[in-house]
Amino acid sequence: MRRLWARLPSVSLQAILVISFVLVAAIALGLGLLAAMLVSGPLRLVVALAAILIAALLAVLVSRYLTGSIQALIQASRQVAHGDLTVRVPGHGPRELATLSQAFNATLETLGADQRAQAERLASLEQLAAGVAHEINNPLATILLYVDILRQEYGQKDRNLADLEMISSEARRCKRIADALLDFSRRKPISPQPTDLNALLQNVVQVEQRHEKYAPVNIVTDLDPTLPLIQADPAQLRQVLINLLNNAVEAMPHGGRLSLRTRQQPAGLVTVEVADSGVGIPPENLNRLFRPFFTTKPPGQGTGLGLAIVSSIVRQHHGQISVQSQVGQGTTFTFSLPIQLPEEIVAQ
């Protein structure tokens, strides 16, 4: 049947509708009249029924011709929503829908190429990050070791002790940055297991809100009680939540509202929303947020790796993340995850 549609000439949807309705009405009328003229008695009823059946069959065929490409587009959009950019729709059917299908395919082609290029750039950046972090970690360990030795040699009252403390705390700061680099570059494959996202979120909130910076923040949770267990790596999702929560709180240094929401979505997805009433993000920064090393925080306070790690983990889970923000009003990060991961990932 599909091949037959493919061979039909591409005509305007409006033309098809007009022609088909005229045709169906004419055939039904003609056959009805014929039946009335030619036959009499019970046969008249049979011929009239046949006329209606033929008209209905024609209507079904025409509507299938019209809706076939729409169905294909709907199906393909669902697959794209699940992160599959390799899907394509057949570009036949009524002219407008054929054009729409071709535009849809072209968009996916561009998105796929962008995604591949970005993945390659990210891979080389990760390699660089891992190399640098390893190289820096060794001398840092040596510095910290010698600071400890000197501390013991100087004794408690030595006036050089404060200087040593400074060296030690700065060296530890460097180590934290090097560790963040390693976290970012060491993309471990995920180990999925049935995960209760609501419980995980509650636990992260409980642990994180002990930090001083959470004190002026009012945390509001709205968790979907019907949320199913999802196949995910809880340790890695914890990283995602910690990073999003910390960013939100850091955007509200004078306090504000942090709203956390989970929802089950149709099409086998769950979403988590982390919304703050903080400083917001200027539009020109929105598409740079997930790039490694992008930060607006003063030196020493931000590595610019948090959101790069978040997006990498969400992608590994076949999920998606998006952000909406208004300067001065606040920011909402929303990520979606499939309830079920593809077989090959679960089997790993």
Kindly list the residues in this chain that would bind Mg ion in the complex (CB under 5 A): 247, 306
**In whole angstroms, how far apart are CA 136 and each of 84, 132, 133, 271?**
39, 6, 5, 38
Of 192 and 306, the one with the shorter C-beta distance to ligand ADP is 306
Part in contact with ligand ADP (CB under 6 A); list of ranges 140-148, 246-254, 258-266, 340-348? 246-254
Give me the least distance between CB of 189 and ligand ADP, in Å please: 22
Build a one-symbol-per-residue string for 280-319: x at contacts with ligand ADP by CB under 6 A, - elsewhere: -x-------x----xxxx----xxxxxxx-----------
Q: Which of 126, 183, 233, 276 binds ligand ADP (CB under 6 A)?
A: 276
DSSP 3-state assignment of 144? helix
| 241: contact with ligand ADP by CB under 6 A | no
In sequence order, what are the residues at sequence separation of 6 or more whose Cβ sits closer than 8 angstroms to the Cβ of residue 342? 318
| 181: contact with ligand ADP by CB under 6 A | no
**In whole angstroms, how far apart are CA 196 and each of 89, 214, 226?**
36, 24, 11
Q: Which does 289 bind (CB under 5 to 8 A by kind): Mg ion, ligand ADP, none?
A: ligand ADP
Of 251 and 269, the one with the shorter C-beta distance to ligand ADP is 251
Q: Measure the CA–CA gap between 274 and 110, rounded to whole angstroms.
A: 30
Q: Which of 28, 35, 122, 279 binds ligand ADP (CB under 6 A)?
A: 279
Q: Measure the CA–CA gap between 299 and 275, rounded to whole angstroms.
A: 25
What is the DSSP track for 231-261?
Answer: EE-HHHHHHHHHHHHHHHHHT-TT-EEEEEE
What residue has token string 């997805």? 269
Q: Measure the CA–CA gap between 34 and 177, rounded to whole angstroms.
A: 88
Please report, in angstroms and rounded to a whole number, the separation of the first and last CA atoms in the chain: 40
DSSP 3-state assignment of 301? coil
Q: Which does 126 bind (CB under 5 to 8 A by kind): Mg ion, ligand ADP, none?
A: none
CA-wise closest residue to 266 among 85, 67, 74:
74
Give me the least distance between CB of 209 and ligand ADP, in Å please: 16
| 331: contact with ligand ADP by CB under 6 A | yes
**In whole angstroms, how far apart are CA 263 and each of 131, 223, 234?**
40, 7, 18
Of 150 and 219, the one with the shorter C-beta distance to ligand ADP is 219
Of 168 and 239, the one with the shorter C-beta distance to ligand ADP is 239
Q: Which does 294 bind (CB under 5 to 8 A by kind): ligand ADP, Mg ion, none?
A: ligand ADP
Of 243 and 316, the one with the shorter C-beta distance to ligand ADP is 243
Of 65 and 184, the one with the shorter C-beta distance to ligand ADP is 184
Of 78 and 187, the one with the shorter C-beta distance to ligand ADP is 187
- Which residues form the interface with ligand ADP (CB under 6 A)? 243, 247-248, 251, 276, 278-279, 281, 289, 294-297, 302-308, 331
